[in-house]
Each structure stands twice: as structure tokens, then as C-alpha cells.
Amino acid sequence: MPECIHGLEIPLCDICYPKAPPEKPVAARRVVVPRAARVSGVTTSRRSIDPAQQRVYHVTHIRNLELVLESGLLSASATPTVDVSSPLTRELRYTAEVVPTRSVANHVPFYLTPTATLWTDLLSGAHDETRWSAAARAAASVDFVVLVTTVAALGPDAVVADGDAAASLTRFATGDEIARALTRLHDSDRWEGAEVLAFDSVPFDAIQLIGVANDRVRDRVRALTGTKVAVYPPWFLPTE
């Protein structure tokens, strides 16, 4: 597919190909939603979310990328060079179980959107000391990279969490439940807070794209790997 100057597929770049302004609103007709399409007050999607097509996003410090490339894996057990999580966050993820004997910390976390709640919180300064480390607060947005793949590429043991994976009320979906869970999340206000967890590790070969903030970081990353690298500043700007 053709790419823009930022390295993104043309439909994905809002800079080179901005979305058209919305048309003037017209009087809306009342639509009756079938009872079967209503779940807990949320209208379900007419189209099921395909895990093979649904992109997921893993955020890491660029200095951690070098470690990932040396091992060829995104590993849940690896000690990051730059750890953005606080000790409390680490403890909570170690003690929260996805299934018996498997904690959240045994998984590599991904977001369902580049505007995920935790990512935008980190971009906004990582002020919550209970969640973020001093290294997170000292980092600039250009110090991070976004690794992009799909839910299906995370393997058969992938898990969808409908919120912060370490929170006590978060529910998990596995196997055949994943497509239905993604569809429910897509039609709710929990999409940006959800996580997708890959058990143990993800081969770096599964990463399809690396998003970076500027040309300087792109050149640095391209010197490390042949994986496609795209400059996409909107992913690295705080949202209001």
C-alpha cells in the first residue's frame, strides 16, 4: 500500500491526509435498536472485531528497545533499562492473577489504541508517583517508541483485559472469547483503558511497525532494526 512521507500507510496519516470536516448536522431519524443488540445499556457493534486485524500498541523507552533487539523478544521477565513503573505498580501486577499461577506480570502489555489512558497519562508528565517511576517523570515523549502488531499475532495465550489489568474488578477474556470481548469494548467507554496481554514473551518478528516522534529518533531506530519505522507525531502529543 502507498505510504506518506511519514512512513505510514496513506489512510492512517492525519497530517498528510486530514479527515474532512464534518458535514452540517441533519435531523436524525429515531432508530429502534433490536432488543438482542442491547447489552447492559450499550449498543453492540454490527461488525465483530477481528483479532487478526485489530492493532495493538506497546510503549517502551528507546533504551529498552536495544535490549529487546539483542534478545529478539519482548519478554515479561526482562529487566528494563529504563523502568517507567513504580515499585507499587510492579507489586500490584505481580500479585494480580489472570488465571491461577499466572500473574499480570507474567505478560507483556499492549494497548488497543495509541490514545490509551495510561499512555496519555505518561505523556502528560507521569505525575502519579504511586504508578510511575522517577525515570518516567524525567523522560520526554520523544524518548519513547510505540511497537505495533495485532491481537492475533500475540499468540493463542493472549488475554484481553477490560481495564487496568491489575485492578481488582477487571475481567479477562481468552481464546474464543477475545473477539466478543473486543467488540464489547469497542462499543463502550472502556476501550482506551483496556489492555491486551501476551503471555511470557512476543517475538520481535511479530512487530509490524515502530512509531516514533521525529526524524532523529526514526534514524536512530532504523540503525538498529529493519522493521518498518514511521514518524507519527500525534501519537506522542498529550491529549486534553
- Average pLDDT score over the chain: 86
Q: Given a cut of 90, is residue 113 above it in pLDDT?
A: yes
Q: Which residue ranges make up each domain of the chain?
A: 55-236
**Burial category of 222 from C-beta neighbours within 10 Å (exposed 0-12, middle 13-18, buried 19 and up):** middle
Structure confidence by residue, pLDDT tens digits, 120-163 = 999 999 999 999 999 999 999 999 999 999 999 999 999 999 99
Structure confidence by residue, pLDDT tens digits, 29-63 = 444 434 334 333 344 445 789 999 999 999 999 99
Structure confidence by residue, pLDDT tens digits, 155-189 = 999 999 999 999 989 999 999 999 999 999 998 99
Q: Interior CA angle at 43 toward 41 and 46, to 5°?
A: 160
pLDDT of amino acid 4 = 63
Global confidence as pTM: 0.81
The cell for 138 is: 524525567
